[in-house]
């Protein structure tokens, strides 16, 4: 069940390189095993955050103050493209990130965010660039406020931007709704569909080796 999200005012870190893939967000070997969750914050953005000798890369934004406290990422286009690994969202969450703002996101990453109570905000590329510039101009001191109820962002300059979001997704995040429980309320319809489909498309339901 996702944690609810309504409002957030926080430090935001711009990571503006385009096409940051989920392999870059979290390497696969950190996710192998059923007990990886809870250990991932340290490994988020590992290839950017650490130098080959394992020490912190001082150049990387999340290794600098005040960005270490960031709860929002302002991202370049197509952030979260690539693999379906939900660990990408878990690792961001464990790093303290609660919202990502960008002009576009990888489709599967985008869906995974909602499942975990992380808000992905899609706004125009120019607005994203402007937010990043304002944050950098204040060296991270300028915070960003997000209000999901009113679907708006307040930039460090005080300028207000609104964003679109699927009403169902919005509702789910505001209330931390459990999608499985909601779907199971429709189980009668699911079973009725399957019963009808068994005659319409028997080859789907009676699959078995033709030995």
Partner 1 sequence: MQQPGRTMLAKIWDQHVIARISDDTDLLHIDRHLLHDLGGSRGLLDLKSKGLEVHNPELTFATPDHAISTAHDRAGTSKVGQDLLAALRVETSASGIRMFDVDQPGQGIVHVIGPELGLSLPGCTIVCGDSHTCTHGGLGALAFGIGSSELTHVLATQTLVQRRPKTMRVRFEGKLPFGVTAKDMILALIGQIGVAAGTGYAVEYAGGAIRDLPIEGRLTICNLSIELGAKVGMVAPDETTFEFLRGRSYAPQGAMWSQAVEAWRRLPSDADAVFDREVLIDVETIVPQVTWGISPEQVIGVDGRIPDPRSAGDPVRAAAITTALDYMGLVPGAPIAGTPVDWVFIGSCTNSRLSDLRAAAEVARGRKVAPGVRAWVVPGSENVKREAVTEGLDKVFTDAGFEWREPGCSMCLAANGETVAPGQRSVSTSNRNFIGRQGPLARTHLASPASAVAAAITGAIADVRSMGR
Which residues make up the interface to partner 1 (CB under 8 A)? 17-19, 21, 23-24, 27-29, 31-34, 47, 52, 77-78, 81-87, 89, 104-108, 111-112, 115-116, 166-168, 179-180, 183-184, 186-187, 189-190, 193-194, 197, 201-211
Compute the least distance from the CB of residue 105 to partner 1, in Å.
8
Nearer to partner 1, 78 or 145 (CB): 78
Nearer to partner 1, 10 or 111 (CB): 111
Compute the least distance from the CB of residue 191 to partner 1, in Å.
9
Angstrom CA distances, 88 to 45, 107, 168, stand at: 9, 13, 23
Compute the least distance from the CB of residue 69 to partner 1, in Å.
26
**Which neighbouring-strand residues pair with 102?**
122
| Residues in CB range of 11: below 8 A, 6 or more apart | 66, 67, 69, 70, 71, 72, 140, 143
Nearer to partner 1, 9 or 84 (CB): 84
Distance CA 198, CA 106 (A): 35
| Residues in CB range of 4: below 8 A, 6 or more apart | 117, 173, 174, 175, 176
């Amino acid at each position: 069940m996702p944690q609810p999200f309504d409002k957030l005012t926080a430090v935001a870190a711009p990571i503006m390189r385009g096409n940051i893939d989920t392999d870059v967000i979290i390497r696969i070997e950190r996710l192998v095993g059923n007990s990886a969750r809870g250990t991932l914050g340290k490994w988020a953005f590992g290839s950017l955050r650490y130098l080959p000798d394992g020490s912190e890369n001082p150049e990387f934004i999340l290794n600098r103050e005040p960005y270490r406290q960031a709860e929002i990422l302002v991202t370049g286009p197509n952030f979260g493209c690539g693999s379906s690994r939900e660990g990408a969202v878990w690792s961001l969450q464990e790093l303290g990130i609660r919202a990502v703002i960008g002009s576009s996101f990888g489709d599967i990453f985008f869906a995974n965010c909602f499942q975990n109570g992380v808000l992905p905000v899609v706004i125009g590329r120019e607005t994203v660039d402007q937010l990043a510039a304002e944050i950098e101009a204040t060296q991270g001191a300028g915070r960003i406020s997000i209000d999901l109820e009113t679907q708006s962002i307040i930039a460090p300059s005080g300028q207000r931007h609104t964003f679109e979001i699927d009403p169902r997704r919005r509702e789910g995040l505001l209330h931390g709704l459990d999608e499985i429980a909601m779907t199971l309320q429709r189980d009668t319809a699911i079973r009725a569909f399957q019963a009808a489909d068994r005659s319409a498309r028997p080859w789907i339901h009676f699959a078995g080796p033709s030995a």
